Amino acid sequence: MNDCIVSVSGLVKHFNGVQALADVHLEVAPGVFGFIGPNGAGKTTLLRVLLGLIRPDKGQAKVLGLDISSQSLQIRQRVGVLHEKPTYPPFMRVDDYLKMVTELYGSAKTTQKLLDLVGLSDVGGRQIRTLSAGMNQRLGIAQSLAGNPELVFMDEPTSNLDVTGRDEIIKLLIELYHETGISFFISSHNLSQLEKLCHNIAFIDAGHVIEKGPTGQIIDKHTSGLYNVVCSDPKSMIHAFEGNPDILVVGTSGIDAVTLCVKNLDFKSAREQIHHTAAQHDIELRTFTKANTLEDAYREVIRNA
Amino acid sequence: MRERLSELKKLSRLELTLSYRFPAIEFLIAILVFSSGLGVLSIGMTSIGMNLDPNPYYNATQTTEHYTEHMVQKKTLAYVHALATCTNVLFFLIPLFVAFTVARPFEDGTLKTILSYPVNRSTLMSVRTLLLLSLTSIPTIALSAVWTSALIPSGLNIGYAMIASIATLVSILMMYAISQFVAIISKKSSATVIVGMIFWIMVTTLIYNPFTPVTLVATLNPVYAVFNFIVGGEYAPTISDLVVGISSALAIALCLLATSLKLFSKVEV
């Protein structure tokens, strides 16, 4: 694909004998891309390889059509980066730091414009150490936009934020995408937020890319026939469906919730059969919903991997 | 060329802002003011003994010449002693500064952030080297010269002063090269400081040991060897010892700097 912003082929990386990336193949189209996987799956390693911070043992990769081995400096000139738990000089003023970063990129963007863009208009004069976690993350986003990037890499952009902070950052990223048209490559394990944000996603586990594609398609593909049932006695519910050829118990998905996989039945028939079985075993069914979130799809992909 | 200069300027500003926050430079200069002053005073305050025997053959012109010659030697010695005192202190301080400016960014993630910007690794390393060398060597030489001129009013043996200044630069360069090499290999500030301290203790022990070969002393601490050369005596090095020592120290320093630069361009962050 010629219009890929990132293309990775056969990438392998080991750290002291431990395989961090195992023959990774990936092609990322412009837009917002989510790179999803558990801790230690290889998300950050791939990001570091793409930025030229570490060298792969094998394989090739291109970012914006530029080779990561020979054109790393040109890549970094055209991308922005927000690392996980980033470190900025604590005693520097916010505006001074952003000014320094724009100078490094040779960008004409003003500090105030960057601050306005991320909703930090009034904190330019403050020292970085006095910022809250949310503000610090916004500063991270501002510095990643300092050089007119075509693509921004973000590693766990909401990892150290509370729910409100996370929602604010997601809202900000959506606004930035619509205002600037910049592509984002977001590595995270926060599925509910990536579901709202990403056009395309890929799942990585133990260094292998195990699924990739448009977000909606992946959810549909892996949640077809999956239902979440909240009931009065999940243990008996699991027991009730043992040996049933049409309805399989996938697992528990909450304190009183069970995920069931229904084969060859539509929603209405599946609900009727489950209700019937529950009544037979004296189990009260509280809610019955189709499992169709990215989290459900991810769980299913990991289970089958 | 203009772009290169502009990049150097930008990175120097970045490095000064990140690594030399107040009062790092002020602290360094204060220590050097004290050390160079102490070095000059410890030679300048010594009294001179002149034979002014009032006999019929007393040659006033010759005595004056001897006095002038003595004062020139004293001033030169004071200058070189100030350089040697500062260098000795810098042998202790440079590993600390390198630990803070080169090794620590590996540990706290600052280097990862900086190298994610369009920054050339070799240029960054060169800027770091030039900056620390300038911040240590220029004040050392300048302050020693100022203290000597202010306290001892006579001429100076320019040749010896030049050799001592070059020896000072080489000594500082060697200590910096060793510390930087350790910082890049280990990526740890504690290792950089510990190895630096061990080297400092080793050098101090060896150079004050009368059985250490003079060429080795001149290699380990060239400026101290120059001081011994001017003082003279049984254990004083010859000019060829000095040349061999200074050249060896310079060669070691340059090899280590080149290796460090190569390692840094490939180091994983």
Q: Which of B113, B119, B124, B187 to mutate to test the interface with A (most CBs of A within 10 A)?
A: B113
Residues of B in contact with A77 (CB under 8 A): 118
CA distances from B231 to B151, B168, B224 (A): 20, 17, 11
Q: Distance between CA B217 and CA B245 in Å, rounded? A: 7
**Encoded tokens for A50:** 């793409």
Q: What is the pLDDT of residues A143-154, one digit of tens each?
A: 999 999 999 999
Q: Which two tokens stand for residue B239?
A: 């000019």
CA distance B51 to A275: 121
So where are chain B's domains? Answer: 2-44+62-266
- Tokens coding B182: 């350790």
Our measurement of the distance from residue A38's CA atom to the centroid of its chain's CA atoms, rounded to an integer in Å, reads 10
Q: Is B144 helix (H, G, I), strand (E, B) or coil?
A: helix
Beta-sheet strand order (sheet of A6-15): A18-28, A6-15, A58-63, A66-67
Residue B262 has pLDDT above 70, yes or no: yes
pLDDT in tens, B188-197: 999 999 999 9
In percent, the amount of chain B with pLDDT more than 70 equals 97
* Domains and their CATH numbers in chain A: 6-89+132-213 (3.40.50.300), 224-304 (3.30.70)
Helix axes B60-98, B121-151, angle to 10 degrees: 150
Q: How far apart are CA B39 and CA A273, in angstroms?
A: 96
State how far residue A198 is from chain B, nearest Cα, in angstroms: 24
H or E element in which residue B206 lies = helix B189-207
CA distance B20 to chain A (A): 11
- Walk along chain A (305 residues) in steps of 10 and give the mean pLDDT of each run: 86 95 96 94 96 96 97 97 91 95 94 93 95 93 95 91 87 92 93 92 95 96 92 92 86 89 85 90 91 92 85
ipTM for the predicted complex comes to: 0.89
CA distance A6 to chain B (A): 17
A126-139 pLDDT, tens digit each: 999 999 998 999 99
Residue B126: how many other CB atoms lie within 10 Å:
16
- Compute CA B99 distance to the chain's CA centroid, rounded to the nearest angstrom: 18
| pLDDT given at position A2 | 55
Q: CA separation (Å) from B79 to B34, B57, B214?
A: 14, 36, 21
CB neighbour list of residue A284: distance below 8 Å, 6 or more residues apart: A231, A232, A233, A278
Phi, psi values for residue A120, rounded to 5°: -120, 30
Residue A201 half-sphere exposure toward CB, CA atoms < 13 A: 28
Over range B51-62, report the average pLDDT: 73
**C-alpha triplet B178, B143, B69: angle, nearest 5°:** 105
Q: Give the SS3 label for residue A130.
A: helix
B14 within 8 A of A104, measured Cβ to Cβ: yes
**Residues A173, A157: contact at Cβ < 8 Å?**
yes
- If interface means Cβ-Cβ distance under 8 Å, which residues of chain B face chain A? 10, 13-14, 17-18, 21, 108-110, 112-113, 115-120, 266, 268-269
pLDDT of B36 above 80: yes
Strand order in the sheet with A226-231: A247-252, A257-262, A226-231, A285-290
Q: Per-residue pLDDT averaged across B28-39, rounded?
A: 97
